[in-house]
Amino acid sequence: IAGITQAPTSQILAAGRRMTLRCTQDMRHNAMYWYRQDLGLGLRLIHYSNTAGTTGKGEVPDGYSVSRANTDDFPLTLASAVPSQTSVYFCASSDGLPAEQFFGPGTRLTVL
Amino acid sequence: GENVEQHPSTLSVQEGDSAVIKCTYSDSASNYFPWYKQELGKRPQLIIDIRSNVGEKKDQRIAVTLNKTAKHFSLHITETQPEDSAVYFCAATMNRDDKIIFGKGTRLHILP
Protein backbone atom coordinates (compact mmCIF):
# COMPACT_ATOMS: atom_id res chain seq x y z
CA ILE A 1 0.00 0.00 0.00
CA ALA A 2 1.29 3.44 -0.88
CA GLY A 3 -0.57 6.49 0.36
CA ILE A 4 -4.30 6.23 0.89
CA THR A 5 -6.64 3.66 -0.61
CA GLN A 6 -10.39 3.18 -0.71
CA ALA A 7 -12.59 0.17 -1.42
CA PRO A 8 -14.71 -0.56 -3.29
CA THR A 9 -14.09 1.62 -6.34
CA SER A 10 -17.78 1.64 -7.09
CA GLN A 11 -20.91 -0.01 -5.77
CA ILE A 12 -24.59 -0.23 -6.61
CA LEU A 13 -26.68 -0.81 -3.54
CA ALA A 14 -30.37 -1.43 -2.89
CA ALA A 15 -32.08 1.02 -0.55
CA GLY A 16 -32.25 -0.23 3.01
CA ARG A 17 -29.05 -2.26 2.77
CA ARG A 18 -26.08 -1.75 5.06
CA MET A 19 -22.78 -0.76 3.47
CA THR A 20 -19.26 -0.08 4.74
CA LEU A 21 -16.79 1.94 2.70
CA ARG A 22 -13.21 1.18 3.58
CA CYS A 23 -10.29 3.59 3.83
CA THR A 24 -6.69 2.75 4.70
CA GLN A 25 -3.58 4.92 4.83
CA ASP A 26 0.03 3.95 5.41
CA MET A 27 1.44 7.42 6.07
CA ARG A 28 0.86 7.23 9.84
CA HIS A 29 -1.28 10.34 9.65
CA ASN A 30 -3.18 11.18 12.83
CA ALA A 31 -6.18 12.80 11.16
CA MET A 32 -8.64 11.21 8.73
CA TYR A 33 -11.80 12.49 7.06
CA TRP A 34 -14.77 11.40 4.99
CA TYR A 35 -16.31 13.69 2.38
CA ARG A 36 -19.10 13.27 -0.09
CA GLN A 37 -18.97 15.07 -3.42
CA ASP A 38 -22.15 15.98 -5.25
CA LEU A 39 -22.41 18.14 -8.35
CA GLY A 40 -22.66 21.79 -7.41
CA LEU A 41 -22.22 21.10 -3.70
CA GLY A 42 -18.49 20.67 -3.50
CA LEU A 43 -16.87 18.49 -0.86
CA ARG A 44 -18.98 18.16 2.26
CA LEU A 45 -17.44 16.79 5.44
CA ILE A 46 -19.33 13.81 6.87
CA HIS A 47 -17.18 12.72 9.82
CA TYR A 48 -13.60 13.17 10.87
CA SER A 49 -11.10 11.78 13.34
CA ASN A 50 -8.16 13.76 14.70
CA THR A 51 -6.53 10.73 16.31
CA ALA A 52 -7.18 7.03 16.81
CA GLY A 53 -10.03 6.48 19.25
CA THR A 54 -11.77 9.83 18.61
CA THR A 55 -14.29 10.94 15.99
CA GLY A 56 -16.28 14.07 15.27
CA LYS A 57 -19.29 15.11 13.21
CA GLY A 58 -18.92 17.16 10.08
CA GLU A 59 -21.48 19.10 8.04
CA VAL A 60 -23.65 16.15 6.95
CA PRO A 61 -23.29 13.29 9.49
CA ASP A 62 -26.87 11.97 9.51
CA GLY A 63 -27.21 8.43 8.21
CA TYR A 64 -23.48 7.72 8.52
CA SER A 65 -21.25 6.36 11.27
CA VAL A 66 -17.49 5.94 11.59
CA SER A 67 -14.99 4.27 13.86
CA ARG A 68 -11.25 4.75 14.35
CA ALA A 69 -9.89 1.70 16.11
CA ASN A 70 -6.34 2.28 14.87
CA THR A 71 -4.27 4.88 13.03
CA ASP A 72 -4.48 3.33 9.57
CA ASP A 73 -8.18 2.55 9.05
CA PHE A 74 -11.26 4.76 9.01
CA PRO A 75 -14.35 2.90 7.74
CA LEU A 76 -17.60 4.71 6.92
CA THR A 77 -20.86 2.81 7.46
CA LEU A 78 -24.28 3.49 6.01
CA ALA A 79 -26.64 1.59 8.34
CA SER A 80 -29.63 1.70 6.00
CA ALA A 81 -28.84 3.27 2.65
CA VAL A 82 -31.21 5.77 1.00
CA PRO A 83 -31.14 7.12 -2.59
CA SER A 84 -30.01 10.58 -1.38
CA GLN A 85 -26.75 8.95 -0.31
CA THR A 86 -25.87 8.37 -3.95
CA SER A 87 -22.59 10.24 -4.30
CA VAL A 88 -18.84 10.00 -4.73
CA TYR A 89 -17.17 9.45 -1.38
CA PHE A 90 -13.62 10.59 -0.71
CA CYS A 91 -11.50 9.63 2.25
CA ALA A 92 -8.56 11.85 3.18
CA SER A 93 -5.80 11.97 5.75
CA SER A 94 -3.43 14.59 7.10
CA ASP A 95 -0.58 14.83 9.56
CA GLY A 96 -2.75 16.72 12.03
CA LEU A 97 -4.35 20.09 11.30
CA PRO A 98 -3.59 22.49 9.85
CA ALA A 99 -1.81 20.47 7.18
CA GLU A 100 -2.20 19.19 3.65
CA GLN A 101 -4.93 16.61 3.19
CA PHE A 102 -4.19 13.63 0.96
CA PHE A 103 -7.25 12.22 -0.76
CA GLY A 104 -8.02 8.66 -1.72
CA PRO A 105 -9.23 7.76 -5.23
CA GLY A 106 -12.90 7.87 -4.22
CA THR A 107 -15.81 5.42 -4.12
CA ARG A 108 -18.76 5.95 -6.43
CA LEU A 109 -21.89 4.76 -4.63
CA THR A 110 -25.31 4.43 -6.23
CA VAL A 111 -28.32 3.66 -4.03
CA LEU A 112 -31.39 2.49 -5.91
CA GLY B 1 -22.82 28.46 11.20
CA GLU B 2 -19.55 27.18 9.88
CA ASN B 3 -19.31 27.78 6.17
CA VAL B 4 -17.08 28.79 3.29
CA GLU B 5 -18.57 30.69 0.36
CA GLN B 6 -16.82 30.49 -3.01
CA HIS B 7 -17.35 32.58 -6.17
CA PRO B 8 -17.78 32.29 -9.05
CA SER B 9 -19.12 28.78 -9.57
CA THR B 10 -17.92 28.83 -13.18
CA LEU B 11 -15.19 30.92 -14.79
CA SER B 12 -14.00 31.06 -18.39
CA VAL B 13 -10.82 32.91 -19.31
CA GLN B 14 -8.78 33.22 -22.47
CA GLU B 15 -5.51 31.30 -22.47
CA GLY B 16 -2.77 33.60 -21.23
CA ASP B 17 -5.12 35.78 -19.19
CA SER B 18 -5.43 35.76 -15.39
CA ALA B 19 -8.09 34.02 -13.30
CA VAL B 20 -9.26 35.03 -9.83
CA ILE B 21 -11.41 32.94 -7.48
CA LYS B 22 -12.70 34.39 -4.21
CA CYS B 23 -13.77 32.83 -0.93
CA THR B 24 -15.18 34.09 2.35
CA TYR B 25 -15.33 32.21 5.64
CA SER B 26 -17.41 32.49 8.79
CA ASP B 27 -15.10 31.50 11.65
CA SER B 28 -12.87 34.39 12.76
CA ALA B 29 -10.60 31.85 14.50
CA SER B 30 -9.76 30.06 11.22
CA ASN B 31 -5.99 29.79 10.76
CA TYR B 32 -5.38 27.74 7.67
CA PHE B 33 -6.63 28.26 4.11
CA PRO B 34 -5.72 25.68 1.45
CA TRP B 35 -6.66 25.53 -2.21
CA TYR B 36 -7.22 22.22 -4.01
CA LYS B 37 -7.39 21.44 -7.71
CA GLN B 38 -9.49 18.56 -9.02
CA GLU B 39 -9.12 17.42 -12.60
CA LEU B 40 -11.93 15.51 -14.24
CA GLY B 41 -12.32 12.04 -12.74
CA LYS B 42 -9.46 12.50 -10.32
CA ARG B 43 -9.02 13.19 -6.64
CA PRO B 44 -8.47 16.73 -5.24
CA GLN B 45 -4.85 17.74 -4.77
CA LEU B 46 -3.36 20.64 -2.84
CA ILE B 47 -1.91 23.40 -5.00
CA ILE B 48 -1.19 26.13 -2.45
CA ASP B 49 -2.06 27.05 1.12
CA ILE B 50 -1.71 30.04 3.40
CA ARG B 51 -1.71 30.47 7.15
CA SER B 52 -3.25 33.32 9.08
CA ASN B 53 0.04 35.01 9.93
CA VAL B 54 0.78 35.64 6.25
CA GLY B 55 -1.03 38.03 3.89
CA GLU B 56 0.15 36.65 0.57
CA LYS B 57 1.95 33.60 -0.79
CA LYS B 58 3.14 32.88 -4.31
CA ASP B 59 4.28 29.76 -6.12
CA GLN B 60 5.20 30.33 -9.76
CA ARG B 61 1.96 31.24 -11.58
CA ILE B 62 -0.35 30.86 -8.62
CA ALA B 63 -0.76 33.14 -5.61
CA VAL B 64 -3.12 33.37 -2.68
CA THR B 65 -4.02 36.50 -0.71
CA LEU B 66 -5.66 36.60 2.69
CA ASN B 67 -7.57 39.42 4.41
CA LYS B 68 -8.32 38.25 7.95
CA THR B 69 -10.19 41.40 8.89
CA ALA B 70 -12.66 40.93 6.06
CA LYS B 71 -12.52 37.11 6.36
CA HIS B 72 -11.83 36.52 2.71
CA PHE B 73 -9.07 34.96 0.63
CA SER B 74 -8.44 34.66 -3.09
CA LEU B 75 -6.62 32.48 -5.58
CA HIS B 76 -4.87 34.16 -8.49
CA ILE B 77 -3.62 32.24 -11.52
CA THR B 78 -1.58 34.22 -14.04
CA GLU B 79 -0.67 33.34 -17.64
CA THR B 80 -3.30 30.61 -17.69
CA GLN B 81 -2.65 27.44 -19.67
CA PRO B 82 -4.95 24.65 -20.95
CA GLU B 83 -3.83 22.37 -18.12
CA ASP B 84 -5.25 24.86 -15.62
CA SER B 85 -8.76 23.76 -16.66
CA ALA B 86 -10.19 22.00 -13.58
CA VAL B 87 -12.39 22.51 -10.53
CA TYR B 88 -10.78 24.53 -7.76
CA PHE B 89 -11.84 24.33 -4.12
CA CYS B 90 -11.00 26.70 -1.31
CA ALA B 91 -11.18 25.57 2.31
CA ALA B 92 -10.75 26.87 5.83
CA THR B 93 -10.20 25.28 9.20
CA MET B 94 -13.04 25.60 11.71
CA ASN B 95 -13.61 25.07 15.43
CA ARG B 96 -10.07 26.07 16.47
CA ASP B 97 -8.48 24.06 13.63
CA ASP B 98 -10.37 20.94 14.63
CA LYS B 99 -11.76 20.32 11.14
CA ILE B 100 -11.75 21.75 7.64
CA ILE B 101 -14.68 22.95 5.53
CA PHE B 102 -14.63 23.32 1.73
CA GLY B 103 -16.29 25.80 -0.58
CA LYS B 104 -18.57 24.52 -3.34
CA GLY B 105 -15.91 24.81 -6.01
CA THR B 106 -15.20 26.83 -9.15
CA ARG B 107 -15.08 25.19 -12.56
CA LEU B 108 -12.35 26.98 -14.52
CA HIS B 109 -12.35 26.75 -18.32
CA ILE B 110 -9.31 27.97 -20.23
CA LEU B 111 -10.38 28.99 -23.73
CA PRO B 112 -7.96 28.55 -26.66
pLDDT value at residue A1: 52
Q: What value does the mean pLDDT take over residues B51-77?
A: 94
Assign A14 to helix, strand or coil: coil
Least-confidence region, from A11-15, B2-6, B89-93, B102-106: B2-6
Residue A87 CA to residue A64 CA, distance in Å, equals 13
The pLDDT-based confidence of A56 (bands split at 50, 70, 90) is very high
For residue B52, the model assigns a pLDDT of: 84
DSSP-derived letter for residue B65 is: E
d(CA A100, CA A92): 10
In this structure, are strands B62-67 and B72-77 parallel, antiparallel, or unpaired? antiparallel
Q: Give A11 to chain B, closest Cα distance, Å.
A: 16
- Contacts with A, B 19-58, CB within 8 Å: 31-32, 34, 36, 43-46, 49, 51
Q: Which of B3, B27, B43 to mutate to test binding with chain A, by most A CBs within 10 Å of its CB? A: B43
Confidence of residue B100 (pLDDT cuts 50, 70, 90): confident
Average pLDDT, chain A: 94
Q: Among B34, B89, B99, select the one facing A58 at the smallest CB separation.
A: B99
A34: left (phi over 0), alpha (psi -120 to 50) or beta: beta
Asked whether the CA dihedral A59, A64, A69, A72 is positive or negative, the reply is: negative
Angstrom distance (rounded) from CA B88 to CA A100: 15
Q: How far is B50 from chain A (nearest CA, A)?
A: 10
pLDDT band at residue A10 under the 50/70/90 scheme: very high
If pLDDT is split at 50, 70 and 90, which confidence band does A96 have? Answer: confident
